[in-house]
Structure 1
Amino acid sequence: MRKFNSILVANRGEIAVRVMRTAKSLGYRTIAVYSEADAGALHVRTADEAVLIGPAPVQQSYLDSAKILAAAKETGAEAIHPGYGFLSENAEFARACEAAGIVFIGPTPEAIDLMGNKAAAKRRMIAAEVPCVPGYEDADQSDDVLIKAASEIGFPIMVKAAAGGGGRGMRLVHEEKNLVSALNSARSEALNAFGSDELILEKAIIEPRHVEVQVFADTHGNVIHLGERDCSVQRRHQKVVEEAPCPVMTPDLREKMGRAAVEAARSINYRGAGTVEFLLDASGSFYFLEMNTRLQVEHPVTELVTGLDLVSLQIQVAEGAPLGLDQSDITLNGHAIEVRLYAEDTTQDFLPCTGRIDAWEPATGDGIRFDSGIDAGQEISPFYDPMIAKVISYGDSREAARYRLIEALKGSVIFGLTTNRGFLIDILAEEKFAKGEATTAFIGELFDDERLAAKSPDTAEMAMAAVLLYQVERDRARAAAIYANDQLMDWSSGGLLLTRYVFASGDVEKDVTVSPLRDGSYEVMVDDKALKVEVMGRSKNRAQLTVDGKRKRLHYNTLAVGVVELTDDGRTLRFVNTIAFPLSAAGAAGSGHVTAPMHGTLLEVFVKPGDTVEVGTRLAVLEAMKMQHDILAEVTGIVEEVVAVAATQVSVGDLLFEIKTAEASE
């Protein structure tokens, strides 16, 4: 049996912190690797030792296996845990670890190779008599052959990248006329993301559930499953909410799916933690989708319902020890739900966001778990996946877990960057989800552009923002005063003291005045409506107020001068006092100035000076946070200047194009 005492975690963020937490509890020395962008990151500070491996881009740091192996040699690391993403499913990296005499905490390179290619994996599963979706997975990748195969399978068709995952290189095609375009775009995205443009085709199972089974195998021939997870709530084929157990699972179906998953793992001589993913249709039929040869993002829900530490089991198996469990030892108790908290703007087509985290205080309470790799003061860069935390709840029942998760999201303080928290709360509160009826069509059916659009603040929120900003500015003035006289604060010899704000929040702009009253409360005028606001208590980021007698608990942030952010019932609003800033029309929407919406790399530029464009014309493709984003024209006119250059890095706000509108030329 191979023993080791030190583990290098070849990853970053929450998964690196999570792996280190277990490793340190078991007495292992932990080593972190980090890029220049992550120098102050939590995973670096959590580790016993840390090594800088390069600049921010992943190709020069976290995907550079030679640098990671050099860090292992430098620190004397005897084992490497790859986490998920990055090199976790890279067979060559696993082989390189073995060649260097380092234990790779994961499956064999052969298993990674086989299951990492969807075409080869599907062929092996068909041979193992695991139920599979009808499709095409052969070597001939010509358009003619793929079109013919699609016609024989029947539409709708799912086009998938044979390599990789995460929804990249995947297209749903309803009609043959759209197939060639889908093939081309899927190939391009797959080649850029995974270095391979090989595709497979599958019959689209409409509105299925996405159910996956956690398997574990040791080197002594033991293979078991740890139950299932329902991952049906997805956006663009990327999971948003995961839970265990599946709400519609029966003992008979669990036994059948579990047996199929175990057989899939056994057929490839699997080792360690793996996940076999299935599509489950309304009739109870299920079909093999793919196998992930690593720890999954959503593994915490399995840990909570089984009482097992999956990272501990991974380490145990990697050392050559038997699992010490058989199938009869596995019982599922209670219910667990996980949501992925992303730095993204759901009102802007889920655009990933960057920025500084001004405040971060995750909620606490029974049955609540946060897996995160962030801290207050940390910068969220454009170079990595926008997931900043996982929020997981556990309860004796699904309803208990659901309510706890909603309250944990509402009760967490996070300011400084836009997140999808409100969207997650809306999902969990949706009746169809509450009833356990969500399929993979759930988000597309219920969350259209209108529902996702930014909500305007009401007068009570305007009033609370004004009073909080007033108090903070008053406190700053008191602290800065050489001769502070508290008795003169909030006092005027000419009647009520009026402080005026012109608040802009989204598309709304309101004139607001605040007047302190003798009883310590405030009269706030929002346009022509008067409200009475009392501050019952206020700390750094939390406040309790009453508005016309109605009590509210909320979070707030006033780090920026003239700006106040409120989180009311999980919904965050930003108010800017426009009279505190000079006016600027530069970069205004619809002005013809097209700027980068975020940091990233320009992959393609589609226009040149002199081209005529219309609203919605595709100008360029920007890659940021592992996703591709179209840059579209917001006006109709003629392209005057093209600053954008393909294959170059841009920063948020950088000018990309100048478009001369018809109005400007008159």
Structure 2
Amino acid sequence: MYERILIANRGEIALRVIRACRELGIGTVAVYSEADRGAHYLDLADEAYCIGPAKAADSYLKIASIISAAEVGNVQAIHPGYGFLAENAHFNEVCRSCKIDFIGPSPEAMAQLGDKNSARSIARAAGVPVVPGSDGLINSEEEALRFAHEVGFPVLIKAVAGGGGKGMRVASNDLALKSSLQQAQAEAEAAFGNGAVYLEKYVQHPRHVEVQVLADGHGNAVHLWERDCSVQRRHQKLIEESPSTSVSAETRAEMGEAAKRLILQAGYQNAATVEFIVDSEGKYYFIEVNARIQVEHPVTEMVTGIDLIKAQIAIASGEPLPFTQDDIKSSGHAIECRINAEDPARNFQPSPGRIERLIVPGGFGVRFDSHAHSGYVVPPYYDSMIGKLIVHQPTREEAIACMLRALAELRVDGIKTVAPLHQEILSHSAFAEGRIDTTFVERTFMAG
């Protein structure tokens, strides 16, 4: 096991990793930008180094600065968290070339699965259903139009290096496809430095269901059941839950096994999330792999009792999985609400600033993962999420009631958050009855 780990991230996930390391008896080195100087979670690390100015490009995305901090801190491994460099195969390679373990998959597996076109090929080879799509990258309007006319509109344009909805557009006719193609390519180039895109048949009103997988370096892999992430806004997840209400027990088991086959086919080690969409008939299709820990990993932790961060660290250090598939049970129902510093009433405009007062909910089955506190200043430079409210109860009905109670207790004075919207969503009859899909929020709460 490692003696010291550097966390190449900030905020909630940095604190989450520090906590796991403390329980494992592992020393930690934190890094921070000038915007995060003085954040309370930094005091919990054994050492903390400033790696640059506020902008992520000059700090959290600056590989040389992070490696320098790792060498000064004398660490054996780096945990990348999520976002920033977490799925950057080059950073992964640099870590390993500097004799520092990267807590994640190999650079090769990361690069293969990070390219969505390559990931689709691996899925096909593993016998995993994929959405009908273009055979390769789309290099011209003519190719795009040819594919769209073959499979029929609407079609979905997707960036091969995409994530978080960037470089993604839906087109319903020739004119929309031409303009959306250029927009998606430009957005992907700006966000990822790679403007390559491919096309898929657009499945209308799908459910978004993902499977958590762990694979070690000894040929073992397990799935930890699924999370339903259908409550989204413009492809950005808002609420996640497990188990999903949209899949049967048979489909649930099939998806878990399909996710394992894909991960093994790719020679992948560590934690991964295999994402699927489920159509109105209950058929599932692979869409992508997230080669890192997910924001919503606590949902899986609550229903399985498995600490995913500790599992990541153990796998990276060479330990075999301590359990088999038969050992992993899903108990009860968990829901996570992302608490973003945004104003839903003003088209989700970011709401940075000082939190004058923070009152955290508690009680049986309630968990709040956050680095924020009263007096904390939410910077305008990064993702707007300031915390995650998670509940776990015996049934879905009880989990919804518990979450509504916890949201009513949560107070974040001084800035706007999406908590009121979460209350509206959870109180809606369609959510209570499981009649939701990835367009539910936009159709129901954002129409007009």
TM-score higher than 0.5 here? yes
What are the Cα deviations for residues 409-458 of structure 1, in whole angstroms up to 9, with x where unaligned?
110121111111100110111111011221112112211356xxxxxxxx
Q: Secondary structure at the match of 1:240?
A: strand
Q: Secondary structure at the match of 1:289?
A: strand
Report what 1:79 is aligned to. 77
Q: Secondary structure at the match of 1:215?
A: strand
Provide the C-alpha distance between the structure 2 equivalents of 1:395 and 1:93, rounded to a whole number of angstroms. Answer: 40
Report what 2:2 is aligned to. 4
Q: Which residue of the other structure, out of 115, 118, 121, is the alignment partner of 2:119?
A: 121
Query: 1:18-417 to 2 correspondence within 5 Å?
Result: 18-417=16-415
Report what 1:424 is aligned to. 422
Please state how far the C-alpha of 1:100 moved relative to its aligned partner. Answer: 0.8
Provide the C-alpha distance between the structure 2 equivalents of 1:144 and 1:44, rounded to a whole number of angstroms. Answer: 53
What are the Cα deviations for residues 552-603 of structure 1, in whole angstroms up to 9, with x where unaligned?
xxxxxxxxxxxxxxxxxxxxxxxxxxxxxxxxxxxxxxxxxxxxxxxxxxxx
| Cα pair distance change 1:422/1:178, threshold 3 Å | same
The one-letter code of the counterpart of 2:426 is L
The one-letter code of the counterpart of 2:127 is E
Report what 1:475 is aligned to. none
The one-letter code of the counterpart of 1:415 is D
Larger helix proportion of the pair: 2
Q: Secondary structure at the match of 1:172?
A: strand
The one-letter code of the counterpart of 1:101 is K
What are the Cα deviations for residues 45-72 of structure 1, in whole angstroms up to 9, with x where unaligned?
2211100000011111000111101000
What are the Cα deviations for residues 107-126 of structure 1, in whole angstroms up to 9, with x where unaligned?
11011101111111112212
Structure 2's unaligned 5+ residue stretches are: none
Contact 1:12–1:43 (8 Å) recurs in 2? no
The one-letter code of the counterpart of 1:400 is E
Provide the C-alpha distance between the structure 1 equivalents of 2:282 and 2:422, rounded to a whole number of angstroms. Answer: 28
Contact 2:138–2:199 (8 Å) recurs in 1? no
Provide the C-alpha distance between the structure 2 equivalents of 1:228 and 1:125, rounded to a whole number of angstroms. Answer: 18
What are the Cα deviations for residues 289-337 of structure 1, in whole angstroms up to 9, with x where unaligned?
1000000111001000001100111111011010011110010000000
Contact 1:13–1:42 (8 Å) recurs in 2? no
Please state how far the C-alpha of 1:137 moved relative to its aligned partner. Answer: 4.6
What are the Cα deviations for residues 17-61 of structure 1, in whole angstroms up to 9, with x where unaligned?
111111111101011100000001233122111000000111110
Provide the C-alpha distance between the structure 1 equivalents of 2:271 and 2:41, rounded to a whole number of angstroms. Answer: 22
Provide the C-alpha distance between the structure 2 equivalents of 1:393 and 1:302, rounded to a whole number of angstroms. Answer: 11
Provide the C-alpha distance between the structure 2 equivalents of 1:139 and 1:420, rounded to a whole number of angstroms. Answer: 37
Provide the C-alpha distance between the structure 1 equivalents of 2:289 and 2:158, rounded to a whole number of angstroms. Answer: 14
Number of matched pairs: 448
Please state how far the C-alpha of 1:170 moved relative to its aligned partner. Answer: 0.7
TM-score (norm 1): 0.66
Q: Secondary structure at the match of 2:162?
A: coil
Larger deviation, residues 28-37 vs 40-49 = 40-49
Provide the C-alpha distance between the structure 1 equivalents of 2:257 and 2:48, rounded to a whole number of angstroms. Answer: 42
Q: Secondary structure at the match of 2:232?
A: strand
Provide the C-alpha distance between the structure 2 equivalents of 1:137 and 1:427, rounded to a whole number of angstroms. Answer: 38
Q: Secondary structure at the match of 2:161?
A: coil
Contact 1:161–1:190 (8 Å) recurs in 2? yes
Please state how far the C-alpha of 1:127 moved relative to its aligned partner. Answer: 2.3
Contact 2:369–2:387 (8 Å) recurs in 1? yes
Q: How high is the sequence identity, in percent, across the aligned residues?
A: 47
| Cα pair distance change 1:168/1:360, threshold 3 Å | same
Larger strand proportion of the pair: 1
Please state how far the C-alpha of 1:9 moved relative to its aligned partner. Answer: 0.5
Aligned-residue RMSD, C-alpha: 1.1
Contact 1:40–1:378 (8 Å) recurs in 2? no
Provide the C-alpha distance between the structure 2 equivalents of 1:222 and 1:58, rounded to a whole number of angstroms. Answer: 36
Larger deviation, residues 147-156 vs 415-424 = 147-156
Please state how far the C-alpha of 1:140 moved relative to its aligned partner. Answer: 4.7
Q: Secondary structure at the match of 2:228?
A: strand
Question: Are residues 1:446 and 2:444 paired?
Answer: yes
TM-score (norm 2): 0.98
Provide the C-alpha distance between the structure 2 equivalents of 1:225 and 1:101, rounded to a whole number of angstroms. Answer: 30
Contact 1:31–1:50 (8 Å) recurs in 2? yes
Q: Secondary structure at the match of 1:444?
A: helix
Q: Secondary structure at the match of 2:163?
A: coil
Contact 1:122–1:137 (8 Å) recurs in 2? no
Contact 1:17–1:42 (8 Å) recurs in 2? no
The one-letter code of the counterpart of 1:323 is L
